[in-house]
Structure 1
Amino acid sequence: IRKQRKKRRKERKKSNSFPERPKSHFPFNILVWLLLQITLRPPTPPQCQFQFPQSLSNVIPTSSYSSFSLLFSLFRSLTAPSFAEDSNPFFLRIWENQNWETEESVSALLLLLLLLLLFLVLGASIAMPRCRMDKEEGEKHLGLLKLMQILSFLVVFVAGVVIGLATTSHVSRYFTSQAELYSFINHFSVPTTHVEENCTDSNICERKDCSSFHMFIHPDNLTHAMSDDELFWRASMVSKRENYYPFKRVPKVAFMFLTRGPLPMLPLWERFFAGHDNLFSIYVHALPGYELNVSTSSVFYRRQIPSQRVSWGTVSLADAERRLLANALLDFSNERFVLLSESCIPVYNFQTVYDYLTNSAHSFVESYDEPTRYGRGRYSRQMLPDIKLQHWRKGSQWFELSRALAIYIVADTKYYTLFKKFCKPACYPDEHYIPTYLNMFHGSLNSNRTVTWVDWSMGGPHPAMYGPANITESFIESIRNNGTECLYNSEITSVCYLFARKFAPSTLEPLLNLTSSVMKF
């Protein structure tokens, strides 16, 4: 028997024919072998599919050859030059620019487990030895066979990690997660500015319950990211339920301050508002970037609205007025709207002012026809046919409006567009737009007078400015009772002015000394 075996071995060595591959009952081995022979690699030498040493070719099973061949082909396809802009291998570019994320790590692990499972099944299906050796020869190399199986599984494991990481990184270049896409859209669609305690922050919103009905009708924070068009559209909404409110509505007066920066009369106004918290609201339009330096206990704390630059005598001044109105209209309890400057002071106490405005059936906007170059001379025929010369009116910019008229002004796009186009410098839109608009459509709701006293007796483009020497009891009384009479709810009254301007910052101290004795607050 031994002689016959030795004879057969010598015959096989002399023969150059490749022994027939063993028949495997496992379909994965057959599939892998077909892929290797048909698609992945050209025909290989008869000794082995890779140029392994001869000693290994006699030991490693056929299924392991197939596994290594498939693994090598996949790795070669990953490291081959890709169709990218540069010629670096795809895997090397991925490795150099890798930014591992949690989702990619999980995907890599899943792919690794799948690959490992596949190769374990392939490796476990051990076929007959590579060359048809005798039983003794197979037993002789059994230890080396087990060692090579362990090494092959280790190589498969490491290669699976590399393939998984490279594949998931390659896929993540072309697919964006839903969370990333949502954050990308939010970042570029609505450009928001971070402000402390802003309701655009989800955590703060959850704490403050920004979506509640109370926050909708009484917004605590005036900061928002709306453009003027969005703001005016939002502010012009009107409920179809007239005179019905699903909450206890107490009418408030909105005090709107149009200022360049500081409010020198702020202590005077704080004393004026003291004790009337639920009857007023404050809005400040200052230059962009300026912040009022007030304590958290002040009624002016966090009452600045998003603003834009304003130039005297241009349409930007009228823009700022409408911007103040629109922000104040967001609070559904605001019923009356007063425009003031940093040099304005009250000449009556709060309760008198509140009763006077909330009980009035008319708004207080100065609107008159002035047939001079300072009135009709500023009219432009380019406004025809929508605005005719007989419609043209002039008046003080310091107005007081009811909520109904404020909504009309904010909602207007047709006539305000004409003023923006054709009422250029030397026309002064802030002195003509609202007086003309109300005269054309809502004249019956306007008293055609202002409640802010101004001294124009000095002449010139600006009114007189008063200093500390002018502040006396008799001077304040002359403003309150200056001998003029006016109509209030169709009746004659001597109380015509509630506010006065212009007062220099140096008048603050003497004015504070007169509040209790003259202005009664």
Structure 2
Amino acid sequence: MQSRAVQLEEGKENGVSVRTGNYKAFPPKLLLVLGLFLAFAVTVFIISVSTIKYVGIQSVVTTVTSSFVPCRLEEPSGLDRWVQPPAVLMHNMTDEELLWRASFWPLRKEYPFKRVPKIAFMFLTKGPLPLALLWERFLKGHKGLYSVYIHPHPSFTAKFPANSVFHRRQIPSQVAEWGRMTMCDAEKRLLANALLDISNEWFVLVSESCIPLFNFTTIYSYLSRSKHSFMGAFDDPGPFGRGRYNQNMDPEVPITKWRKGSQWFEIDRDLAATIVKDTLYYPKFKEFCRPACYVDEHYFPTMLTIEKPAVLANRSLTWVDWSRGGPHPATFGRSDITEQFFGKIFDGRNCTYNGRNTSMCYLFARKFAPSALEPLLHIAHKILGF
């Protein structure tokens, strides 16, 4: 017993005979699986390295970076950002920001791209355009030679079908009051938005009651060949001319340069830019030309007489009838639309065009009531040429 006890104690102390019997050998099958896994991993690694070697690392980089290209294409780069007109006319610029942006124009006359000059028709309206169908017919077939801008009362939203020339052509607007500076603000707003399209060369201000008197080709030719812009600017010595002048406007606006003219004008790009960049005359007219001084009759004619007198034809291209008297011209409805009526407009007077006498003095006419639309559409092809 003693001898056996001694052997057990010795075994416990050495830790050999007692515990080695509890461990099992590593399973051969598991070793085989591990070996196969390692072989597979090495094979995949070799194939990957070979693919990169033959295809090229550049193609992998190109594939990764190409997924970001559409994000960069959202914003035009280079010359396109200046040449392309705004895709959407509605914006969140203030008037101050808009006029600042629109006052940019190139000092070089040559264009580094093919530029087709356009006419910008600027509609200053109270709301709807009751004569829109007539203008649609007038502009049909001349896409790329004109632009349309609508400045209505801010509470009005124009709704035209997608195929209309007026579709989504409304600009951000504010209230325009007759005879007050807000009316000139609206006109400057129209000019500034139109100037954002570098291809707009001629700017025609019309109302919802205006109509064209000739077909588009004739009007385009008349404007493009003219050496002058068409804005009335005459010196009226009477109470409705110089009688409205305020001495506080001197010296920026001397009485010798005080002019009066029609609100409805056609000017070229240079004069449009001159108007929107003005900060010298605007404060004087805003403060000192209030009813009975009607600023929309004096601000632009006077300012341009001071700044650019040689380029003014000193007449408007829009015919109106003041023969009935009163503060507003006559309005014409359904019963007025006859061949004889238009004969009086076409043969009514003579004027000068590029230094020569002509009987073609008006390209547009107003004021026409909504009831005039149907007879106008009926007579347009024969009388107006479209």
TM-score tier, shorter chain, comes to 0.7 to 0.9
> TM-score by structure 1 length?
0.59
The one-letter code sitting in structure 2 at the alignment partner of 1:510 is: P
Equivalent runs, 1:48-447 vs 2, <5 Å: 209-212=74-77, 213-214=79-80, 216-217=82-83, 218-240=85-107, 242-447=108-313
Q: Give per-residue Cα distances to partners, 1:52-85, cap 9 Å, x unaligned.
A: xxxxxxxxxxxxxxxxxxxxxxxxxxxxxxxxxx
Query: How far apart, CA to CA, are the structure 2 residues paired with 1:310 and 1:252?
Result: 27
2:137 is paired with a residue of what secondary structure?
helix
Kindly name which structure, 1 or 2, has the bigger radius of gyration based on alpha carbons: 1
Give the counterpart of 1:509 among 353, 362, 374.
374
How far residue 209 of structure 1 moved from its aligned partner, in angstroms, is 3.2
The residue number in structure 2 matching 1:519 is 384
How far residue 206 of structure 1 moved from its aligned partner, in angstroms, is 5.4
How far residue 474 of structure 1 moved from its aligned partner, in angstroms, is 2.0
**Structure 1 unaligned residues grouped into runs of 5+:** 1-204
How far residue 207 of structure 1 moved from its aligned partner, in angstroms, is 9.9
Query: How far apart, CA to CA, are the structure 1 residues paired with 2:312 and 2:278?
Result: 17
Query: How far apart, CA to CA, are the structure 1 residues paired with 2:75 and 2:383?
Result: 43
Query: How far apart, CA to CA, are the structure 2 residues paired with 1:223 and 1:438?
Result: 29
2:281 is paired with a residue of what secondary structure?
helix
The one-letter code sitting in structure 2 at the alignment partner of 1:501 is: R
The residue number in structure 1 matching 2:352 is 487
Query: How far apart, CA to CA, are the structure 1 residues paired with 2:275 and 2:162?
Result: 33
1:336 is paired with a residue of what secondary structure?
strand
The residue number in structure 2 matching 1:91 is none
1:211 is paired with a residue of what secondary structure?
coil
The residue number in structure 1 matching 2:41 is none
Query: How far apart, CA to CA, are the structure 2 residues paired with 1:207 and 1:349?
Result: 43
Query: How far apart, CA to CA, are the structure 2 residues paired with 1:207 and 1:269?
Result: 39
1:277 is paired with a residue of what secondary structure?
coil
Query: How far apart, CA to CA, are the structure 1 residues paired with 2:91 and 2:351?
Result: 41
How far residue 246 of structure 1 moved from its aligned partner, in angstroms, is 2.3
1:278 is paired with a residue of what secondary structure?
coil
CA contact (8 A) 1:209 1:215 kept: no
How far residue 291 of structure 1 moved from its aligned partner, in angstroms, is 1.2
CA contact (8 A) 1:477 1:518 kept: no
How far residue 441 of structure 1 moved from its aligned partner, in angstroms, is 1.9
Query: How far apart, CA to CA, are the structure 1 residues paired with 2:169 and 2:154?
Result: 14
CA RMSD of aligned residues (A): 1.5
How far residue 215 of structure 1 moved from its aligned partner, in angstroms, is 5.3
1:319 is paired with a residue of what secondary structure?
helix
Q: State the aligned residue count.
A: 315
Structure with larger RCO (C-alpha < 8 A, sep 6+): 2
The one-letter code sitting in structure 2 at the alignment partner of 1:305 is: I
1:414 is paired with a residue of what secondary structure?
coil
Identity %: 55
The one-letter code sitting in structure 2 at the alignment partner of 1:512 is: L
Query: How far apart, CA to CA, are the structure 1 residues paired with 2:365 and 2:355?
Result: 24
CA contact (8 A) 1:369 1:394 kept: yes
How far residue 478 of structure 1 moved from its aligned partner, in angstroms, is 2.2
The one-letter code sitting in structure 1 at the alignment partner of 2:106 is: S
Query: How far apart, CA to CA, are the structure 2 residues paired with 1:403 and 1:228?
Result: 19
Query: How far apart, CA to CA, are the structure 2 residues paired with 1:384 and 1:318?
Result: 21
> TM-score by structure 2 length?
0.79
How far residue 485 of structure 1 moved from its aligned partner, in angstroms, is 1.1
